[in-house]
Structure 1
Amino acid sequence: MSKSKSSITTHSVISDFKEITKMRLALSVVFSSLAGYLLGAETVDYKTLALLAFGGYFMVGASNAFNQIIEKDLDALMNRTKDRPIPAGRMSVNTAFIIASIFTVLGIIILYSINKQTAMFGAISIFLYTCVYTPLKTKTPLAVFVGAIPGAIPFMLGWVAATDNFGIEPGTLFALQFFWQFPHFWAIGWFLFDDYKKGGFFMLPTGKQDKGTAVQTIMYTIWTLIVSIIPVFGFTGKLQLSVVSAVLVFLLGLWMLYYAIRLFKLMTVKSARQLMIVSVSYISLVQIVYVLDKFIR
């Protein structure tokens, strides 16, 4: 009896740790930063790659833990979040704060060991996410605009880690992931609209599941598509894309645009959920095409 109880406790501690740091989200962010690194690196240094992975994970984990401390009372109101460790009473605020603080310090130290600029962008990311985006979510739909900044940093962070330089190349990577987040966020805001409402979150640009929100979703998807193929034209420095890869990336953009237009036509929770799923696949596939293009070209 006691053995099974302790294994359940161990399981819940591990799953709560994964939940407080949002492990799946953190790993997708790490994937973005590693893709950025591979694009920027002249020669791949596996030690830097490992440091970037750990440093990036700690930074995202810290942001997510701070976010859940700040929103604990609101999380308790929503079905999606009421079983998170703090609102469910499985983890104290103090424990979460210790985890978040340790992760912040470790993240900044690890990124600093790569170079100062990488640490600086990592620190900016935590600050914006925790101190600006999180409080704004209950105040204004502009929160999504602010949240898109730390959300777009990882892809360019990888390039900065590889080159210790911020220029047109990481700027383009930043712009791609920045514009992409609007259709992604708004699709989530659409299909979780009623749940977000319980917590008092304003995520959609018009505040409603209406044509205005759907049109803006289409517009930002088009911006994402345009930015994604800019490297093929040769004015983004060392960030280049072959014609074949640009066509592939363009087709991926049309795939996401199809689902954005579908949301406009159908205006349903199901079509919003489909757009969200496609948007996640889209950004990963585009990053993979970019990296493969560099190493195959």
Structure 2
Amino acid sequence: MFKLFGKIGSSSKFGHHQNVGNKFSIISTNYPSFMIGCNHHHHHHHRNQNFTSILILRHHNGPANNKTASNLRFLSSIQQQTKLIHSDDESTTTTSATATAEDLLPKPSSSSSSAIIEYDEHRFRELSKEFSKSLDKNQLTNIENVWKDIQPSTISNVLNDYSKLAKIKLTGLVVLTTMAGFYMAIESSVNPTILASTLIGTALTSGSAAAWNHFLEVPFDSQMRRTQARPLVQGSLTPLHAATFATITGVAGLSILATYVNPLTALLGGINLCLYSFMYTPMKRVHIVNTWIGAIVGAIPPIMGFTAVNNFIDLPSLLLGLILYSWQFPHFNALSWNMRHEYARAGYRMMSVTNPRLCQQTALRHSTLLLGYTAAMCATDMTHWSFGIDSLPFSLYLVYLSYRFQREPSSQTSRKLFLYSLIYLPVIMLLMVISKNRKSSRNQERKKAN
């Protein structure tokens, strides 16, 4: 079977390239006795051998001097330990390994639109060095620095892959927002069993959703610099391994929430898992509504923390979710702005790609809404009015940066907005915790009624 390790440029199918400027396409195949250009007796000689071969295709649908780094970006995902291929045919080994990339490639013939040459590992490495020199240094670093051998399957490496598979930083943020919702809901002492079960169950459920995201997006992750180091793209974990990890962590997380917390929290966790894995992930390549679905996913964890304590959903808990919901638009829209070219190449329909103006306006709109949500938190008696006063300058500055991003969209204004959003959320959560009204009359009345 052919194994395509990297989807080159903006191609939608194997062998069909939409980017007419691409000059070379390189793929890796693993096929028993696959020999190109060999005689019949050579084919028979290698019939019982399995090896990995590197094929280099030269296309003639673009100018000869238009060379793009995207053609070679797949090299970061080639992690197979290749066997040296030695051919008995002297005519196939006469090409010098130190020749330039242009010289190593065959001259086009009138009978075919591309020519294919097979190289062994040593010759491929030499070709890679020469080819990297022919590219603009601003587009691609030395290929030898990109192509790395696969790491041995030690416990340390597997655990490191698991942390990437579960998106440990994103999962950590989910756990922290869940903890904030839990703390804002408690009125007396903390039940350590419920707290630990809530955080562990939420972390496992979030890790499962992230693993399914990895599993479903391998062909597209290989086309983006930000995601080319993921375990499934590099081949350090198999798809079956990732699916097993996602299934086990998902079942374990939801079981913990249902058994040791309450069914409502488990239901919210299950909804979030399905939204992120099976709605948000595929929707990214269909419609820009994916951003709003992703914002709902981020808004549910603090509500889960609240329901873990009270086992109901009310206006204060919804306000917790709305703060996280609106925060994600200035945060993600600013992040996606500088990545819109990579999103476009991978086929993701983000606002920054399909409707840049809407991307900027949505960031400003939800930054403004955060002012109202923080004020409403005080009105619902969940926090003191000091929270609204203390959070006001931080929220106003977020609005200002969003306004600048709308008026002058650039890498500088979007980067400032993104970096500040990373500071804004923990500051708001900390101020909320400090300003919490421990004697919430609304919650006390509800508890008396129950």
- Length-normalised TM-score, structure 2: 0.61
In the alignment, what sits opposite 2:160?
15
Asked if residue 215 in structure 1 is aligned to residue 367 in structure 2, the reply is no
Asked if residue 225 in structure 1 is aligned to residue 371 in structure 2, the reply is yes
Aligned equivalents of 1:196, 1:6: Cα separation in 2: 29
Out of 321, 325, 342, the residue aligned to residue 174 of structure 1 is: 321
Deviations along 1:141-173, whole A, 9 cap, x unmatched?
Answer: 110011111111011110010111111121111
Counterpart AA for 1:93: P
SS state of the match for residue 289, structure 1? helix
1:149-164 residue pairs with structure 2 within 5 A? Answer: 149-164=296-311
Q: Could you tell me whether the CA contact under 8 Å between 2:272 and 2:297 is conserved in 1?
A: yes
Q: Could you tell me whether the CA contact under 8 Å between 2:213 and 2:277 is conserved in 1?
A: yes
Q: Could you tell me whether the CA contact under 8 Å between 2:329 and 2:366 is conserved in 1?
A: yes
Deviations along 1:180-207, whole A, 9 cap, x unmatched?
Answer: 1111121111121111112111221672
Aligned equivalents of 1:57, 1:203: Cα separation in 2: 27
In the alignment, what sits opposite 1:130?
277
Aligned equivalents of 2:323, 2:384: Cα separation in 1: 17
Asked if residue 241 in structure 1 is aligned to residue 383 in structure 2, the reply is yes
With a CA cutoff of 8 Å and minimum separation of 6, indicate the structure with the bigger relative contact order.
1
Aligned equivalents of 1:99, 1:258: Cα separation in 2: 43
Counterpart AA for 1:147: G
Aligned equivalents of 1:92, 1:289: Cα separation in 2: 44
Aligned equivalents of 2:371, 2:301: Cα separation in 1: 19
Question: What is the Cα deviation at residue 221 of structure 1?
Answer: 0.8
Question: What is the Cα deviation at residue 249 of structure 1?
Answer: 1.6
1:69-84 residue pairs with structure 2 within 5 A? Answer: 69-84=215-230
Counterpart AA for 2:336: G
In the alignment, what sits opposite 1:277?
419
Asked if residue 26 in structure 1 is aligned to residue 168 in structure 2, the reply is no
In the alignment, what sits opposite 1:68?
214
Asked if residue 38 in structure 1 is aligned to residue 177 in structure 2, the reply is no
1:251-270 residue pairs with structure 2 within 5 A? Answer: 251-270=393-412
In the alignment, what sits opposite 2:86?
none
Structure 1 residue runs without a partner (length 5+):
none
Aligned equivalents of 1:6, 1:201: Cα separation in 2: 30
SS state of the match for residue 313, structure 2? coil
- Length-normalised TM-score, structure 1: 0.91
Aligned equivalents of 1:272, 1:74: Cα separation in 2: 24
SS state of the match for residue 86, structure 1? helix
Counterpart AA for 2:307: V
SS state of the match for residue 416, structure 2? helix
Out of 246, 260, 264, the residue aligned to residue 100 of structure 1 is: 246
Larger Rg: 2
Aligned equivalents of 1:191, 1:16: Cα separation in 2: 27
Structure 2 residue runs without a partner (length 5+):
1-149, 440-450
Aligned equivalents of 1:189, 1:118: Cα separation in 2: 31
Q: Could you tell me whether the CA contact under 8 Å between 2:166 and 2:210 is conserved in 1?
A: yes
Deviations along 1:49-76, whole A, 9 cap, x unmatched?
Answer: 1111111110110000000101011001
Aligned equivalents of 1:14, 1:108: Cα separation in 2: 22
Question: Number of matched residues?
Answer: 288
CA RMSD between the two structures:
2.0
Asked if residue 57 in structure 1 is aligned to residue 199 in structure 2, the reply is no
Aligned equivalents of 2:163, 2:278: Cα separation in 1: 22
In the alignment, what sits opposite 1:187?
334
* Same amino acid, percent of matched pairs: 26
Counterpart AA for 1:133: Y
Counterpart AA for 1:15: N
In the alignment, what sits opposite 1:88?
234
Q: Could you tell me whether the CA contact under 8 Å between 1:231 and 1:240 is conserved in 2?
A: yes
Q: Could you tell me whether the CA contact under 8 Å between 2:344 and 2:353 is conserved in 1?
A: no
Q: Could you tell me whether the CA contact under 8 Å between 1:187 and 1:275 is conserved in 2?
A: yes
In the alignment, what sits opposite 2:348?
201
Q: Could you tell me whether the CA contact under 8 Å between 2:351 and 2:358 is conserved in 1?
A: no
Aligned equivalents of 1:274, 1:18: Cα separation in 2: 28
Higher mean alpha-carbon deviation, 8-17 vs 105-114, is at: 8-17
Q: Could you tell me whether the CA contact under 8 Å between 1:191 and 1:270 is conserved in 2?
A: no
Aligned equivalents of 1:296, 1:285: Cα separation in 2: 20
User: Closer, same or farther in 2 for the Cα pair 1:129/1:6, shift >3 Å?
Assistant: closer
Question: What is the Cα deviation at residue 94 of structure 1?
Answer: 0.5
SS state of the match for residue 294, structure 1? coil
Q: Could you tell me whether the CA contact under 8 Å between 2:343 and 2:353 is conserved in 1?
A: no
